Amino acid sequence: MNKLLINSNIINQINNKDLYEPNLLRFLLRNSDLELLNSKQYDAAYIDGVYFKSNFSGLIFSKFYYDEKSEMKDEILNYYGSGLGDPSYIVDITNKNDNNELSKRAFLLFRKGFNDYFTNLYHGKEEPLNDIEEKFFINYILTKSIFTNFSEETKHEIYKILSNQKEFLQFKNNKSQTNIFLQNESLKKVLDLYTNNEVEFLIGEKQSSESLVNLYFKKLYRSKVFDLHLKLKDRDPLEIYNAMESVLGKYSNLNWFKSLIKYGTNCGLEYFENVYAKDNIKGINTLSTRLNSGDRKPKAIMEMLSLINLIKDVSPIGCELDDISKLFLIVSYSNREDHYLKIRSMFEIPEQAYPSFSQLQIGKKSFKELEAEILNHKLEKELSLAQNPTKRMKL
């Protein structure tokens, strides 16, 4: 009897459960070759961009995962018994043949989803990944874009894996042509879940403010990476200012931020200085380029505002009314409400610029509507503090 044909019919029934016929399956099992079945690889599953190949036991585990009470599964498991062995999986996520033999834990991690698996692991209801499986998970993060809406338990367990594999991450970074901690978008989304100190532990060093400013302004901004303010937010404002002065030269108007202004508006700083010099702020409303000015990167403007917010109390920019007015002009041109609310949380509108700005529109709201909302928010906050004096003391 042709064992290959018998085995292929068993696989066909597993993959197509509608074909299941008890008497036929029993006949096939009695005449099958388990050693031959165990020697082959099978397409077990495709989950979140990952193809799982498996041994025969892994195929059964995968295909019947959602069908625990299947008579067909029970027939197969009872007939073969311990001869099946444990499920194992081979996965290639980089298309470079770096396959590893993984246990069913790796399959369950994807089948259940990261949140469910790691939350259960935190509560002792799942087994932890082994070293190979942890490296596989990190390779997945580096290769695929993942959602990071994680529970606190999941964050805790993922950081344990990152810590366990700190040297592996550093090895990956040293081999890469880019800084994976700063430029790999998927890894950065994960690292943003943790404090700067926790991330610095994984990197293996605390980069100086000067080296970070140099790296971003001279390289990473060109790659459209705009999160330097997050790396510096816990540092002393004077240290940040001195670092920027060391790298970018003595502060002169808004020249430090020329590249961010260019990326964020597709216009040079000179354009805004010219508009401001001619007192043509109201003309911003009529510019078609304001709504359609090429490949603009709004994050660049938010990056600029966030950096200025970090240093405004120790730098000339905090008291230069002309610079503040130009910032309002740039934000008005960017035409985004979040930008406007950010700068208004930092500065009052300079008195000399108020008449011109009062006729502008940001997004779908007029200047007066936005200012009314800001004023109402301040009044509500003051009222809340007045009603809760203990809260005021804490602040």
Q: How far apart are CA 281 and CA 278, in angstroms?
A: 8
Q: How far apart are CA 329 and CA 323, in angstroms?
A: 10
Structure tokens at 50: 């990952």
CB 126 within 8 A of CB 105: yes
Q: How far apart are CA 42 and CA 53, in angstroms?
A: 5
* pLDDT computed for residue 180 by the predictor: 92
HSE (side-chain half, CA atoms, 13 Å) at 117: 16
CB 237 within 8 A of CB 313: yes
Residue ranges of domains in the chain = 1-112, 113-206, 217-363
* pLDDT computed for residue 363 by the predictor: 79
**Tens digits of residue pLDDT in 98-144:** 567 899 999 999 999 999 999 999 999 999 999 999 999 999 999 88
Q: 325-334 as b/e, with b when 16 or more CB fall inside 10 Å?
A: bbbbbbbbbb
* pLDDT computed for residue 377 by the predictor: 83
* pLDDT computed for residue 368 by the predictor: 84
CB 239 within 8 A of CB 245: no
* pLDDT computed for residue 321 by the predictor: 87
Length of the chain: 395
* pLDDT computed for residue 379 by the predictor: 85
Pairing of strands 50-54, 88-91: antiparallel
* pLDDT computed for residue 293 by the predictor: 54
In 3-state terms, what secondary structure has residue 288? helix
Residue 227 φ then ψ, to 5°: -140, 30
**Tens digits of residue pLDDT in 176-206:** 888 899 889 899 999 999 999 999 999 998 8
* pLDDT computed for residue 391 by the predictor: 53
**Residues pairing with 91 in the sheet:** 52, 100
Other CB atoms within a 10 A radius of the CB of residue 12 amount to 11
**pLDDT lower than 70: segments of the chain:** 94-99, 280-294, 389-395
Q: How far apart are CA 10 and CA 17, in angstroms?
A: 10
**Tens digits of residue pLDDT in 340-355:** 999 999 998 888 777 7
Please report, for residues 15, 21, 33, 59, the alpha-carbon distance to residue 79 in angstroms, rounded to integers and kept in the order given. Answer: 18, 16, 12, 16
Q: Is the pTM of this model over 0.85?
A: no
* pLDDT computed for residue 124 by the predictor: 96
Where does the chain show beta strands of DSSP type E? 42-47, 50-54, 88-91, 100-103, 361-362, 365-366
Other CB atoms within a 10 A radius of the CB of residue 55 amount to 23
* pLDDT computed for residue 99 by the predictor: 60
